[in-house]
């Protein structure tokens, strides 16, 4: 069974479109189960009907013609019950529906299983048999359930690929094709998709027609020549070291590159008007599928060689290509997995939106996007990324959705939101120099989180009172080696100077988890519970000492430096770090630098720290809660995993209780406590944190004006009452609604996500 399943999934995975995928499924399942009929019905979201999309055994002319209402017939019953239905005599069931077009009256036994992906019923997979005595047995039922579960993702993906090309299941033209992900950075962007992909990755090659057929053919032929020369060179070089059987492997490669073989097929595809890279991808994937399905293990292994050959050819085809990537005026950058370096490639002023298939709202690239104020959607798992290139896209960073092929109405709706948001931001500029205090005079410091120099510029224009978190790993991430002490000193000086005399809190290097340095790879099974933050730098004092030395020297004459330690789970980590910081401080002073000992603080982002707040606070000058990680670890929800993103809830009662306790315990030993996680930049979250007594809130620059305007409009007693009310609730969703309602009642409905039900009003407003 397993090997049937494996080859079925592989075959379906490399199908060119939904139709081919479904045809493969029905014919392979029919074969494997030895049944007379196998059919797939898919639920068409536009009509809310199940449409017969593929069949083996029913009349072929009924495909695309027969359809059932959402709860009609046995198919509707399987879909609405979301479980298999196995009947010996289907026509005697009260829900049986007869369609003469299918020729179905000949079949009596029926087994239908739902196809469900991420809780959504996509359709129903059905097998049928003529004899009434033949009831499908338990094993067959289990097999069909397994097939359906394995294929649901592939079907969802192919369905989306069809939709994005502008076709519904029934082949009609579609508009406003929506893909759901998770919000990465708020705001709306309308622009053109530019897909960036890692080099020499066949799977990531986008679909494109050949613009110049002859050019594509010539390009491909020259890449074949180059690969052939490479292989011959390597074979000659190794001739004396290899046995003749091993040498024969190179001959296999060269034979595969013979005109008759792979190159001939790729050229035929190019002639069908596919660009060279796309043609190569299609042919190589077909070969791989073919080899992987072979029974002989030796031949199965040859799939690896084909993949390797494909990669070599692709890298010649791509030579010089990434540099010539064109970024139009309103670029929406799209990638399987966005990296900070990719953002840096887009010319200044052209980047309007970001879309990443992987990651979630708490991934570091999303945090960077919020800092830059670029609307972002993350975790669009089933979206055919390669099809987004060159398309007009609407990015809704509030809801976490993107739309392809927007209709005029939808575009107008989003244009109106975009204009409103800009107007709101302009209105808030007046608040820049006003203090952040409630109507009854309670003051709280509003600080910013930075990483790049652009954040600093934005922060200053938004009236930040200092830096609450400078993520020093950001400049490390955009380099190709560890920055030298002098280079670090220059980065740090920029940040310190920009805000002097206000405090600048620099966190020591926090790599590991999802923050990788290309030149210092950390490969772990479970990186978020592994070698992260202070654990890495204490194991590598040479990195820690150089960094602290650069920070201290950079602070000379400014004396506004504060140092913060990430991922603290033990008192001993604090003591060791303090020991190293004091050592550097004395050494730097001995070198003649006139510096003051900076304040040192720890981040509270591991649950263990919540229970040792007093012990920690007694050893340092301040505490700062990293609510992003604290939420992740308290709720055991990976902050990057879109599958569980709906469980990552900053308003979870356990998170709120922990935050209350941290503030109380820190104050009980007289130490200030701030927060530098994303919750601080959420207007509702900021209100609750202010009520809990946090001394400072550090957030991305884009959020600062909104938070300030909310805090300046309320009195603290009101916020404390709101906090007391929500602490009595047990559901994160109810708490969120309660806080949203309070914000609405206080006149801040505009700061919440726009309500799609007001679409008509906005479109009208835009039209007028």
Query: Which of 293, 251, 241 is closest to 14 using CA atoms?
Result: 293
Q: Per CB under 6 A, which of residues 400..439 are in contact with ligand PEP?
A: none
To Mg ion, the closest distance from the beta carbon of 627 in angstroms equals 9
Q: Binding partner of residue 463 among ligand PEP, Mg ion, none, CB under 5 to 8 Å per kind?
A: none
| Count of residues touching ligand PEP (by CB under 6 A) | 11
What pairs with residue 110 in β-bridges?
87, 128
Per the rule left: phi > 0, alpha: psi between -120 and 50, beta: everything else, 127 is beta
For the CA atoms of 361, 362, 367, 369, the dihedral, rounded to the nearest 10 degrees, stands at -20
- CA gap 291, 306 in Å, rounded: 9
Q: Choose one: 523-531, 603-611, 724-732, 754-762; the region binding Mg ion (CB under 5 A).
A: 603-611
Core vs surface per residue 395-410: b (16+ CB within 10 A) or e: bbbbbbbbbbbbeeeb
In terms of Cβ atoms closer than 10 Å to its own Cβ (0-12, 13-18, 19+), residue 521 is exposed
Given 285, 628, 640, 696, the residue binding ligand PEP (CB under 6 A): 628
User: For residue 166, what are its two tokens?
Assistant: 């502008």
Minimum Å distance from CB 524 to ligand PEP?
16
Whether 676 sits among the annotated catalytic residues: the reply is yes
53, interface contact from ligand PEP, Mg ion, none, CB < 5-8 Å by kind: none
Q: Which of Mg ion, ligand PEP, none is residue 677 near (CB under 5 to 8 Å by kind)?
A: ligand PEP
Sheet with 67-69: strands ordered across: 67-69, 49-56, 37-44, 120-129, 109-117, 85-87
451 lies in the site for Mg ion, by CB under 5 A: no
- Report residue 636 as tokens: 């055991």
Least separation in angstroms between CB 751 and ligand PEP: 21
Options 364, 442, 462, 649, the catalytic residue: 364
Of 38, 436, 676, 738, the catalytic one is: 676
3-state helix/strand/coil string of 24-83 = HHHHHHHHHHCCCEEEEEEEECCCCEEEEEEEECCCHHHCCCCEEECCCHHHHHHHHHCC
Nearest residue to ligand PEP, by Cβ distance, number only:
626
Query: Which does residue 458 bind out of ligand PEP, Mg ion, none, counting CB within 5 to 8 angstroms by kind?
Result: none
Q: Which of 63, 266, 317, 469 is in the footprint of ligand PEP by CB under 6 A?
A: 469
Q: Note whether 631 and 655 are within 8 A (CB).
A: yes
Site for ligand PEP (CB under 6 A): which residue of 629, 638, 665, 682?
629
Which of 292/455 has CB closer to Mg ion? 455
Q: Which residues are CB-neighbours of 632 under 8 A, at least 6 positions away? A: 362, 528, 638, 639, 648
Q: List the one residue from 73, 677, 681, 754 that touches ligand PEP (CB under 6 A).
A: 677
In whole angstroms, the minimum distance from the beta carbon of 532 to ligand PEP comes to 9
* Binding of ligand PEP by 605 (CB under 6 A): yes
Q: Which of residues 605-664 bind Mg ion (CB under 5 A)?
A: 605, 626, 629
Report, in Å, the least distance between residue 656 CB and ligand PEP: 15
CA distance 765 to 416: 8
Contact 550, 488 (CB under 8 A): yes
Tokens 């906090």, residue located: 723
Torsion of CA 682, 340, 193, 753, to 10 degrees: 0
**β-bridge partners, 624:** 603, 674
Q: Which does 104 bind (CB under 5 to 8 A by kind): ligand PEP, Mg ion, none?
A: none
The partner in contact with residue 267, picked from ligand PEP, Mg ion, none with C-beta cut-offs of 5 to 8 angstroms by kind, is: none
Q: What three-state secondary structure class fits 404? A: strand
Helix 18-33 and helix 138-164, axial crossing angle in degrees, nearest 10: 170
Q: For residues 351 and 335, give the distance between their C-alpha atoms in angstroms, rounded to a whole number.
A: 14
Q: How far is the CB of 567 from Mg ion (least distance, A)?
A: 7
Site string for ligand PEP, 478-517 (x = CB under 6 A): --------------------------------x-------
555 vs 627, which CB is nearer to ligand PEP?
Answer: 627
The span from the CA of 197 to the CA of 279, in Å, is 17
Query: Residue 588 binds which entry of ligand PEP, Mg ion, none, with Cβ cut-offs from 5 to 8 Å by kind?
Result: none
- Residue whose token pair is 């978020």: 528
Q: Hunting for tokens 């590991």 — which residue is that?
A: 512
> Taking CB under 6 A as the rule, which mask of x and - marks residues 55-94 in contact with ligand PEP?
----------------------------------------
Closest CA to 49 of 169, 174, 176: 169
Shortest gap between Cβ of 676 and ligand PEP (angstroms)?
A: 5
- Only segment of 83-91, 157-165, 536-544, 626-634 that touches ligand PEP (CB under 6 A): 626-634
Q: CB under 8 Å to 550, separation ≥6 — which residues?
A: 485, 486, 488, 489, 492
Q: How far is the CB of 363 from ligand PEP (least distance, A)?
A: 9
465 is a site residue for ligand PEP (CB under 6 A): no
CB of 366 to ligand PEP, least distance (A): 10
36 binds, among Mg ion, ligand PEP, none (CB under 5 to 8 A by kind): none
Q: How far is the CB of 469 from ligand PEP (least distance, A)?
A: 6
Cβ distance to Mg ion smaller for residue 129 or 627: 627
Is residue 364 annotated as a catalytic residue, yes or no?
Answer: yes
Stretch 140-179: interaction string toward ligand PEP, x if CB under 6 A = ----------------------------------------
Using CB under 5 A, list all residues that contact Mg ion.
605, 626, 629
Using CB under 6 A, list all residues that contact ligand PEP.
367, 469, 471, 510, 605, 626-629, 676-677
Could you list the active site residues? Answer: 364, 676
């Amino acid at each position: 069974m397993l090997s049937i399943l494996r080859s079925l999934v592989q075959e379906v995975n490399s199908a060119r479109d939904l139709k081919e995928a479904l045809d493969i499924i029905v014919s392979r399942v029919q074969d494997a189960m030895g049944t007379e009929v196998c059919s797939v019905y898919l639920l068409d979201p536009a009509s809310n009907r199940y449409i017969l999309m593929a069949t083996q055994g029913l009349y072929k002319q009924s495909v695309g013609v027969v359809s059932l209402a959402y709860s009609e017939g046995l198919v509707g019953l399987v879909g609405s019950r979301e479980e298999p239905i196995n009947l010996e005599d289907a026509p005697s069931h009260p829900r049986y529906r007869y369609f003469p077009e299918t020729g179905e009256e000949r079949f009596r036994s029926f087994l239908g299983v739902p196809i469900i992906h991420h809780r959504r019923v996509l359709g129903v997979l059905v097998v049928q048999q003529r004899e009434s005595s033949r009831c499908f047995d338990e094993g067959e039922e289990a097999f069909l359930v397994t097939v359906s579960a394995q294929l649901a993702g592939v079907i969802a993906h192919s369905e989306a690929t069809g939709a994005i090309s502008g076709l519904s299941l029934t082949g009609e033209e579609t508009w406003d094709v929506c893909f759901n992900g998770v919000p990465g950075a708020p705001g709306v962007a309308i622009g053109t998709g530019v897909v960036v992909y890692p080099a020499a990755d066949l799977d990531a090659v986008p679909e494109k027609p050949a613009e110049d057929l002859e050019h594509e053919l010539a390009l491909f032929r020259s890449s074949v020549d180059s690969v052939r020369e490479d292989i011959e060179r390597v074979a000659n070089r190794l001739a004396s070291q290899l046995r003749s059987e091993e040498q024969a492997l190179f001959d296999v490669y060269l034979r595969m590159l013979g005109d008759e073989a792979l190159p001939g097929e790729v050229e035929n595809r190019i002639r069908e008007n596919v660009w060279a890279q796309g043609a190569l991808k299609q042919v190589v994937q077909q070969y791989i599928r073919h080899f992987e399905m072979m029974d002989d293990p030796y031949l199965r292994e040859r799939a690896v060689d084909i993949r390797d050959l494909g990669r070599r050819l692709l890298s010649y085809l791509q030579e010089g290509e990434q540099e010539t990537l064109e970024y139009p005026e309103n670029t929406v950058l799209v990638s399987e997995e966005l990296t900070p370096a990719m953002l840096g490639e887009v010319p200044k002023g052209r980047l309007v939106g970001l879309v990443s298939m992987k990651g979630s709202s708490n991934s570091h690239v999303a945090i960077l996007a919020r800092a830059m104020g670029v609307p972002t959607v993350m975790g669009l798992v089933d979206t055919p990324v390669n099809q987004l290139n060159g398309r007009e896209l609407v990015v809704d960073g509030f809801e976490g959705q993107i739309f392809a092929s927007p209709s005029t109405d939808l575009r107008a709706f989003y244009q109106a939101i975009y204009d409103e948001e800009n107007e709101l931001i302009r209105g808030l500029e007046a608040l820049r120099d006003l203090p952040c205090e409630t109507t009854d005079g309670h003051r709280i410091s509003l600080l910013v989180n930075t990483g790049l120099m652009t954040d600093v510029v934005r922060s200053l224009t938004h009236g930040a009172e200092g830096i609450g978190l400078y993520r020093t790993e950001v400049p490390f991430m955009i380099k190709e080696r560890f920055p030298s002490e002098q280079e670090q000193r220059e980065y740090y000086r920029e940040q310190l100077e920009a805000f002097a005399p206000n405090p600048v809190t620099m966190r020591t290097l926090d790599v590991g988890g999802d923050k990788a340095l290309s030149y210092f790879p950390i490969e772990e099974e479970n990186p978020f519970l592994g070698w992260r933050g202070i654990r890495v730098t204490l194991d590598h004092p040479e990195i820690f000492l150089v960094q602290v030395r650069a920070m201290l020297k950079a602070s000379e004459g400014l004396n506004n430096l504060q140092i913060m330690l990430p991922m603290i789970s033990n008192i001993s980590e604090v003591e060791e770090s303090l020991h190293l910081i004091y050592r550097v401080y004395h050494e730097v002073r001995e070198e003649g630098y006139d510096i003051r000992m900076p304040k040192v603080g720890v981040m509270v982002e591991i649950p263990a720290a919540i229970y040792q707040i007093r012990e920690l606070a007694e050893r340092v000058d301040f505490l700062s809660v990293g609510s992003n990680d604290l939420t992740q670890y308290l709720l055991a929800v990976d902050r990057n995993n879109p599958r569980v993103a709906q469980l990552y809830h900053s308003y979870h009662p356990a998170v709120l209780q922990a935050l209350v306790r941290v503030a109380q315990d820190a104050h009980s030993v007289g130490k200030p406590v701030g927060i530098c996680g994303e919750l601080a930049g959420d207007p509702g979250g900021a209100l609750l944190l202010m009520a809990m007594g946090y001394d400072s809130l550090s957030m991305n620059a884009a959020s600062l004006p909104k938070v300030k305007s909310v805090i300046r409009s309320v009195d603290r007693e009101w916020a404390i009452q709101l906090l007391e009310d929500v602490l009595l609730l047990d559901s994160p969703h109810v708490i969120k609604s309660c806080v949203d309602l309070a914000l609405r009642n206080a006149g801040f409905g505009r700061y919440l996500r726009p309500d799609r039900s007001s679409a008509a009003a906005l479109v009208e407003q835009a039209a007028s």
